[in-house]
Amino acid sequence: MTTTTPTTDPTPTTNPASEAAMTTTITPTTRPSTVTRSGRIRLPQVTRGEWIKFWTVRSTSITLLAGAVATVAFGMIFSLVAESGAEAPGPAAFLSDPVDLALGGIGITEMVVGVLGVIIVAGEYSTGLIRTAFAAVGRRWTVIAGKVAVLAASITGVMTVAVTAAVVAGQAVYGGGEPTVPVTEVLDVIAGTTVYLVGIGLIGVALGFILRSTAGGIGTLVGAVFIGPNLLQLLPDSMTDVFLEYLPSESGAAIMTRVSDPDLLDRGPAYVVFGAWVLGLLGLATVLVHRRDA
Amino acid sequence: MIEVRNLTKAYGETLAVDDLSFTVRPGIVTGFLGPNGSGKSTTMRMILGLDAPTSGTATVGGRPLAEHDRPLTSLGFLLDAGAVHPKRPAHDHLRSLAVTNGLPVSRVDHVLDVVGLGEVGRRRSGGFSLGMGQRLGIAAALLGDPEVVMLDEPVNGLDPEGILWIRHLLQNLAAEGRTVFVSSHLMSEMELMAEHFVIIGRGRLISDISADDLRATAKGESTDVRADRLGDLVGLLRADGVEIVSSDRETITVHGRTATEIGGVARDAGITLHALVPEQRSLEDVFMSLTADAVEYHASAATPVAV
Ligand SMILES: Nc1ncnc2c1ncn2[C@@H]1O[C@H](COP(=O)(O)OP(=O)(O)OP(=O)(O)O)[C@@H](O)[C@H]1O
Ligand SMILES: [Mg+2]
């Protein structure tokens, strides 16, 4: 290797590099004071960065708010349809509980939050921003945890309100004759529904990290979580009985209703099973993210 | 300081980086040169801790980057100027990065001013021109006021004024004592910017050389001469190992004698020289010949292209 002296030396050399270096000073020389160089990056800082990223892309916030509106609007539509006749098509035909009807829009909402989860991760893979994120903080798991925290908090905040509003509004337009159930009596349903929506969002995040592709993530989410179980239900009960209730969608259904259904798990075990899906997929995502090149 | 030791990266059968070792020192701009596909970006991703080396190590200030407390304050980088969400305002993009490393938001405004995007910082980066996008990427690299700045092809897409700007910027950063490591596949972009070159081809080190030494090797072996009594001069110069060809009626090209020697011979014989021009190859030519064997996809120059 050959050596060159650094050109802090103002004497003319043949290298044009040194003359240009004299012209202007671009960064201030007060270097150490501009940065607080204390300690390691901690999760709250990474989470704040993810929070800024989440809320500074307008389509993200609009999507989440649209999901909230859909939750209320579709709940009202299902409740109205149920009022006007027993022959109503779609889910309204199966649902008889006024609270279940008021939450009939969740099928749409879960798609919205799930897709959102995929997009906030896979979108960064497609632009390459994920590399910036990983290299900037060093420990990759903090990026995953930060995204999880931000999406969970955002969905919880928006959807607790939306789900509560849907319970009230749906029942207000329902005229099926049953007495209106006050919100205070269905707090467990509201909590379960919110938890389900958070969980689906996080499954979207996990799929984003696992598959690193928006199309692949959304396809898998829709196919495996939303459509797959409906197709399996067409099979004879004897074949599907053993596992159907353990799927994310079915264990999720069990935590979102106050009606007991012999085909579904009880609420307690359902929470455990649904939580295991979410944590299991996030765990897999974390392992893969650390093992693979970014 | 960046230290790369016996770094190797295999993607399946492909050896993208092959036993590469070099050191990037502070205080100067080091150019990282190699033809397309020679492994520059792969090396940089390993320095950033994004790709795991198959073997070998890459450290920044003696430790892998991922082990640094606040990586952005140790090493600022630009890998790909497109690595932004097009719908996110530039200022928010930088702010989201700054907070992760505990940097004050005032740094965001500062670096936006440094790269000349102060006016448009609140706009979405998707609407930026190619050059503005590069500047935003460079702003992100400067955010942590880092000791080491590493940029992958920062000149791509910049107009001549932008190239001049980035040259001055990087030279100033180096003059402040920082380590500046910049890749390019074009010597013409780097030769006015860098004081040292790490040249690779097919993932292997070809040359780790100062700009001055590289220029010295660019001195050719021949000298073009014009003189009043050309025939006499040819006779006097002729000797073993000296080769003289006449390029045209008035010019000869001499191999095997230096310009100084030729000048001396002419003076002693009273011959007036009209021109004495040592061949000077461009650094581009030197780079091309150094990497000629390592170019992945040769275009055959002889084939006429039908349009
Ligand atoms: N993730 C990957 N998987 C498989 N092969 C890869 C991968 N990344 C790079 N390569 C291969 O490794 C080699 C080096 O690529 P690299 O991008 O590092 O080159 P480069 O010097 O940056 O080229 P350029 O000047 O075109 O940017 C190429 O042959 C490339 O095809
Ligand atoms: Mg490259």
pTM: 0.85
Mean pLDDT, chain B, as a whole number? 91
Q: Whose alpha carbon is nearest atom 16 of ligand 1? A: B39
**Residue A52: which of B96, B114, B172 has the nearest Cβ?**
B96
Determine the length of chain A. Answer: 294
* CB-based contact B86:B125 (threshold 8 Å): yes
Beta bridge partners of B7: B20
The CA–CA distances, whole Å, from B158 to A111, B161, B166 equal 42, 8, 9
What number is the average pLDDT over the span A34-47? Answer: 75
Structure tokens given for B274:
């009209």
Give me chain A's average pLDDT, please: 83
Give B200's strand partners.
Answer: B205
For a mutational test of ligand 1's pocket, the pick from B41, B47, B156, B295, i.e. the residue with the most ligand atoms closer than 8 A to its C-beta, is: B41
Q: Would an 8 Å CB–CB cutoff place A3 in contact with chain B?
A: yes
Q: Is the pLDDT of residue A29 over 50?
A: no
Place of tokens 């607080």: A36
What is the pLDDT, as a whole number, of residue A84?
55
The Cα B79–Cα B106 span in angstroms is: 24
Write phi, then psi, for B277 (nearest 5 degrees).
-120, 105
Instruction: Round to whole Å and give the CA distance between A110 and A196.
Output: 8
Q: Percent of chain A scored above 90 by pLDDT? A: 55
The residue of chain B with its CA nearest to that of A123 is B85
CB B265 within 8 A of CB B237: yes
Instruction: Give the closest of A22, A24, A135 to B50, CB-based.
Output: A135
Predicted confidence at residue B248, as pLDDT, reads 80
Task: Name the residue with higher pLDDT: A11 or A241.
Answer: A241
Cα–Cα distance for residue pair A121/A221, rounded to 1 Å: 14
Q: pLDDT tens digit string along B49-107?
A: 999 999 999 999 999 999 999 999 999 999 999 999 999 999 999 999 999 999 999 99
Write down the pLDDT at residue A292.
95
- Residues paired with residue B196 on neighbouring β-strands, in sequence order: B30, B210
- The span from the CA of A281 to the CA of A218, in Å, is 15
Which amino acid, B148?
V
**pLDDT at residue A94, rounded to an integer:** 53
Contact A110, A196 (CB under 8 A): yes
Strand-strand pairing, B55-60 and B219-227: unpaired
A8 pLDDT above the threshold of 50: no
Query: Quick one: average pLDDT of B231-248?
Result: 86
Q: What pLDDT was estimated at residue A229?
A: 79
Residue A283's CB: how many other CB atoms inside 10 A? 12
Q: Whose CA is nearest to atom 29 of ligand 1?
A: B37
What is the distance, to the nearest Å, from the Cα of residue B269 to the centroid of all Cα atoms in its chain? 46
Among A13-27, A211-225, B29-43, B76-90, which stretch is predicted with the lowest mean pLDDT?
Answer: A13-27
Q: Are B100 and A135 in contact (CB under 8 A)?
A: no
Q: Which residues line ligand 1 (CB under 6 A)?
A: B 11, 14, 16, 34, 36-42, 185
- 3-class DSSP state of A276: helix
Rounded to a whole number of angstroms, the distance from the CA of A121 to the nearest CA of chain B is: 12
The predicted pLDDT at position A240 comes to 67
B201-215 confidence digits (pLDDT tens)? 999 999 999 999 988
Cβ contact B126:A127 at 8 Å: no
Instruction: Give the pLDDT confidence score for residue B207 in this predicted structure.
Output: 93
Cα(B114) to ligand 1 centroid in Å equals: 31
Are the C-beta atoms of B241 and B254 separated by less than 8 Å?
A: no
**Probe site for chain A from B101, B113, B142, B143 (most A CB atoms < 10 A):** B101
Using the predicted structure, report yes or no on whether residue A290 has a pLDDT greater than 90: yes
Q: Are A78 and A101 in contact (CB under 8 A)?
A: yes
Quick one: which atom of ligand 1 is closest to the CA of B40?
21
User: Tokens representing A233?
Assistant: 């239900």
Q: Is the dihedral of CA A265, A268, A273, A274 positive or negative?
A: positive
**pLDDT value for A85:** 52
Is the pLDDT at A148 greater than 70? The verdict is yes
What is the percent of chain B with per-residue pLDDT over 90, rounded to a whole number? 70
Mean pLDDT in residue range B120-138: 93
The residues with which B29 forms a beta bridge, in sequence order, are B180
Which pLDDT score, from 0 to 100, does residue B222 have? 84
Listed in sequence order, the residues at least 6 apart from A48 whose beta carbon sits closer than 8 Å to its beta carbon are B99, B100
Task: Report, as an integer, the average pLDDT of A117-133.
Answer: 97
Nearest to A127 among B45, B84, B103 (CB): B84
* pLDDT class of B296 with cuts at 50, 70, 90: low
What residue owns the CA closest to ligand 1's atom 18? Answer: B39
* Res. B120: pLDDT tops 60: yes
Residue B111 to residue B73: CA distance in whole angstroms: 14
Using alpha carbons, select from A225, A262, A267, A255 the residue that is nearest to residue A241: A262
A225 min Cα distance to partner chain B (Å): 28
Parse chain A into domains and list their residue ranges: 41-291
pLDDT value of residue B266:
92
Place of tokens 């040359």: B207
Q: In the predicted model, what is the mean pLDDT of residues A227-236?
A: 79
> Confidence class of residue A83 from pLDDT cuts 50, 70 and 90?
low
pLDDT score recorded for residue A52: 97
Cα–Cα distance list, B36 to B22, B33, B42, B167 (Å): 20, 10, 12, 22
User: β-pairing, B204-210 with B251-255?
Assistant: unpaired
